[in-house]
Amino acid sequence: MLLEGSVGVEDLVLLEPLEEESLLKNLQLRHEKKEIYTYIGNVLISVNPYQQLPIYGPEFIDKYRDYTFYELKPHIYALANVAYLSLRDQDRDQCILITGESGAGKTEASKLVMSYVAAVCGKGEQVNSVKEQLLQSNPVLEAFGNAKTIRNNNSSRFGKYMDIEFDFKGSPLGGVITNYLLEKSRVVKQLEGERNFHIFYQILAGADAQLLSIQEIGEMVGLNSGELERALCSRTMETAKEKVITALNVTQAQYARDALAKNIYSRLFNWIVNRINESIKVDTGEKKKVMGVLDIYGFEILEDNSFEQFVINYCNEKLQQVFIEMTLKEEQEEYKREGIPWTKVDYFDNSIICNLIEHNQRGILAMLDEECLRPGVVSDSTFLAKLNQLFSKHSHYESKVTQNAQRQYDHSMGLSCFRISHYAGKVTYSVNSFIDKNNDLLFRDLSQAMWKARHSLLRSLFPEGDPKQASLKRPPTAGTQFKNSVGILMKNLYSKNPNYIRCIKPNEHQQRGQFSSELVAVQVRYLGLLENVRVRRAGYAYRQVYGSFLERYRLLSRSTWPHWNGGDREGVEKFLGELSLSSEELAFGKTKIFIRSPKTLFYLEEQRRLRLHQLATLIQKMYRGWRCRTHYQLMRKSQILISSWFRGNMQKKRYGKMKASALLIQAFVRGWKARKNYRKYFRSGAALTLSNFIYKCMARKFLLGLKNNLPSTNVLDKKWPAAPYKYFNMANHELQKLFHQWKCKKFRDQLSPKQVEVLREKLCASELFKGKKASYPQSVPVPFRGDYIGLQRNPKLQKLKGGEEGPVLVAETVMKVNRGNGKTSSRILLLTKGHVIIADTKNSQAKTVIGLDSVAGVSVTSFKDGLFSLHLSEVSSVGSKGDFLLVSEHVVELLTKMYRAVLDATQRQLPITMTEEFSVKFKEGSVAVKVIQGSQGGGKSKLSCKKKGSRCLEVTVQ
Residues 536 and 561 in one domain: no
Domain boundary (512, 541, 570) is at 541
CB of 553 closer than 8 Å to CB of 612: no
First to last CA, the chain: 135
How does pLDDT run across 427-450, given as a tens digit for each residue? 999 999 899 888 877 888 888 888
DSSP state letters, 594-631: EE--HHHHHHHHHHHHHHHHHHHHHHHHHHHHHHHHHH
d(CA 80, CA 94): 10
pLDDT band of 2, cuts 50, 70, 90? very low
Tell me how many domains the chain contains: 4
Bridge pairing between strands 397-399 and 542-545: unpaired
- Extract the annotated binding site: 100-107
In sequence order, what DSSP letters do the residues of 193-259 get, joined into one string? T---BHHHHHHHHH--HHHHT---HHHHHT--HHHHHHHHHEEEEE-SS-EEEEE--HHHHHHHHHH
Indicate whether 594 belongs to any domain. yes
94 domain-assigned = yes
Separation between Cα atoms, residue 876 and residue 872, nearest integer Å = 7
The residues, any chain, with a CB within 8 Å of residue 112's CB and separated by 6 or more, are: 56, 76, 77, 80
User: CATH code at 661?
Assistant: 1.20.5
Indicate if 66 and 131 belong to the same structural domain.
Answer: yes
CA distances from 90 to 76, 127, 434, 906 (A): 21, 21, 47, 114
Cα-based distances in Å from 397 to 387, 408, 410, 431: 9, 13, 14, 14
Confidence of residue 652 (pLDDT cuts 50, 70, 90): very high
Whole-number pLDDT of residue 3:
41
Residue among 549, 551, 609, 600 nearest 579 (CA)? 600
The verdict on residue 958 lying in a domain is no
Whole-angstrom Cα distance, residue 783 to residue 754?
13
Question: Can you give the pLDDT at residue 330?
Answer: 67
Q: What value, to the nearest 5°, has the Cα angle with vertex 63 and ends 176 and 169?
A: 40
Binding residues for ATP: 100-107
Domain span including residue 586:
550-668
How far apart (Å, rounded) are the C-alpha atoms in residues 831 and 618? 114
Q: Using CA of residue 609, residue 611, residue 617, residue 620, what is the dihedral sign?
A: negative
What CATH number has the domain bearing residue 531?
3.40.850.10
One domain, residues 623 and 728: no
Q: Which of 285, 284, 295, 21 is nearest to 130 (CA)?
A: 284
β-sheet bridge partners, residue 594: 543, 587
**Which of 158-167, 475-484, 596-605, 721-730 has the least mean pLDDT?**
596-605
Q: What is the pLDDT of residues 716-755, one digit of tens each?
A: 788 888 888 888 888 888 888 898 888 888 888 887 888 7
State the Cα angle at 752 between 749 and 753, rounded to 5°.
105
Nearest CA-CA partner of 846 in 831, 829, 870, 834: 829
Closest Cα partner for 246 from 263, 262, 260, 233?
233
Report the C-alpha gap between 599 and 609 in whole angstroms.
Answer: 15
* Residue at 178 is within a domain: yes
Beta strands (DSSP E) in 728-844 are 810-817, 824-831, 835-840
Cα separation, 912 vs 915, whole angstroms = 10
As a whole number, the mean pLDDT across the chain is 85
* 83 and 135 in a common domain: yes
CATH code, domain carrying 807: 2.30.29.30
Question: Which of 508, 541, 574 is the C-terminal boundary of a domain?
Answer: 541
Percent of the chain with pLDDT over 90: 22
20-24, 718-722, 933-937 — which one is most confidently predicted on average? Answer: 20-24
Q: Please compute, for residue 681, the number of CA atoms within 13 A of its CA located in the half-sphere on the CB side.
A: 5
Convert 92-121 to b/e letters by CB count within 10 Å (16 or more is b).
Answer: ebbbbbbbbbbbbbbbbbbbbbbbbbbebb
Q: Are residues 178 and 292 in the same domain?
A: yes
Whether 374 is covered by a domain: the verdict is no
Q: How high is the pLDDT of residue 1?
A: 41
Within-domain flag for 941 = no
Other C-beta atoms lying within 10 Å of the C-beta of residue 540 = 25
The string of pLDDT tens digits covering residues 451-491 is 888 888 888 888 887 777 766 667 788 888 889 989 998 99
Give pLDDT, residue 776: 86
Asked if the structure places residue 421 within a domain, the reply is no
- At 508, the amino acid letter reads E
Distance, in Å, from the CA atom of 763 to the CA atom of 741, rounded to the nearest integer, reads: 16
Residues 735 and 831 in one domain: no
pLDDT, average across residues 368-376: 86
815 and 695 belong to one structural domain: no
Looking at residue 128, what is its pLDDT? 75
Look at residue 937 in the predicted model and tell me its pLDDT.
59
Q: Is residue 68 part of a domain?
A: yes
Q: Are residues 586 and 695 in the same domain?
A: no
Predicted local confidence at residue 70, as pLDDT: 66
What is the edge-to-edge ordering of all strands in the sheet holding 592-595?
542-545, 592-595, 586-588
536 and 510 in a common domain: yes
Strand partners of residue 264:
none
For residues 884 and 903, state if they share a domain. yes
Amino acid identity, residue 229?
E
Q: Specify whether the CB–CB gap between 49 and 512 falls below 8 A.
A: yes
Percent of the chain with pLDDT over 70: 93
Cβ proximity of 843 and 824 under 8 Å: no
Least confident window among 48-62, 130-144, 332-346:
332-346
CA–CA separation, 827 and 842 (whole Å): 9
Helices 364-373 and 478-494: crossing angle in degrees, nearest 10, is 150
Do 173 and 270 sit in the same domain of this protein?
Answer: yes
List, as one string, the DSSP characters of 852-874. Answer: GGGEEEEEE-SSSS-EEEEEE-T
User: Tell me, what's the pLDDT at 215?
Assistant: 58
pLDDT digits (tens, 9 = 90+) for 270-305: 999 999 999 888 877 677 889 999 887 777 788 889
Cα 572 to the chain's mean position, in Å? Answer: 55
Please tell me the least confidently modeled range out of 85-94, 330-339, 368-377, 614-623.
330-339
423 close to 454: Cβ distance less than 8 angstroms: no
pLDDT greater than 70 at residue 823: yes
Where residue 579 falls among pLDDT bands split at 50, 70, 90?
Answer: confident
**The last residue of a domain, from among 541, 576, 601:** 541
**Residues 191, 296 share a domain:** yes
421: helix, coil or strand? strand
